[in-house]
């Protein structure tokens, strides 16, 4: 067992009380231990994905390391789950990171912790950081600019 990784994730898996919310990236070897605490959050993301994802697909993304799971521990429970991915733009090779989804409660108390994910992304060589989120997230992210809006149409039901 990686003792450094265990010490890092210990507050979450050992249910340690904390004074203020903390953010932890879940090392892949601890996903099974954290899963019971995040399963309902992940199920909600799947439900809102409108068929884009399933629990199995999301679990596979985390286990493979294609996505990284981050959890916000508030001292009593996991109050948020964030999924990220690292990628490079074809052609230019520019390294970037993206928040693929964010789900949880009490964002006003922990949204500032996203700066930790930004630093992690920098440490991985990313020079751009993107976030796919509902429009309401803009109020929590004053250093971000809204460059695009995702417009979506379900062609299965189009007339």
Phi then psi for residue 76, to 5 deg, are -125, -35
CATH 3.40.50.720 describes domain 3-157: no
Phi then psi for residue 157, to 5 deg, are -120, 15
Domain ranges of the chain: 3-157
- The token duo for 81 is 């789950």
Per-residue pLDDT tens digits of the chain, which is 159 residues long = 689 999 999 999 999 999 999 999 999 999 999 999 999 999 999 999 989 999 999 999 999 999 999 999 999 999 999 999 999 999 999 999 999 999 999 999 999 999 999 999 999 999 999 998 877 888 888 888 887 777 676 777 756
pTM over 0.85: yes
């Amino acid at each position: 067992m990686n003792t450094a990784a265990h010490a890092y994730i210990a507050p979450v898996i050992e249910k340690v009380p904390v004074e203020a919310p903390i953010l932890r990236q879940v090392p892949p070897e601890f996903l099974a231990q954290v899963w019971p605490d995040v399963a309902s959050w992940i199920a909600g993301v799947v439900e809102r994905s409108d068929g884009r994802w399933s629990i199995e697909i999301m679990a596979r993304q985390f286990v493979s390391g294609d996505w990284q799971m981050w959890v916000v521990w508030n001292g009593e429970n996991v109050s948020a789950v964030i999924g990220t991915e690292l990628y490079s733009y074809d052609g230019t090779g520019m390294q970037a990171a993206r928040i693929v989804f964010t789900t949880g409660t009490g964002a006003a108390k922990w949204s500032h912790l996203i700066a930790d994910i930004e630093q992690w992304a920098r440490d991985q060589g990313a020079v751009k950081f993107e976030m796919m989120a509902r429009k309401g997230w803009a109020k929590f992210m004053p250093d971000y600019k809204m460059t695009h809006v995702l417009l979506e149409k379900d062609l299965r039901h189009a007339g």
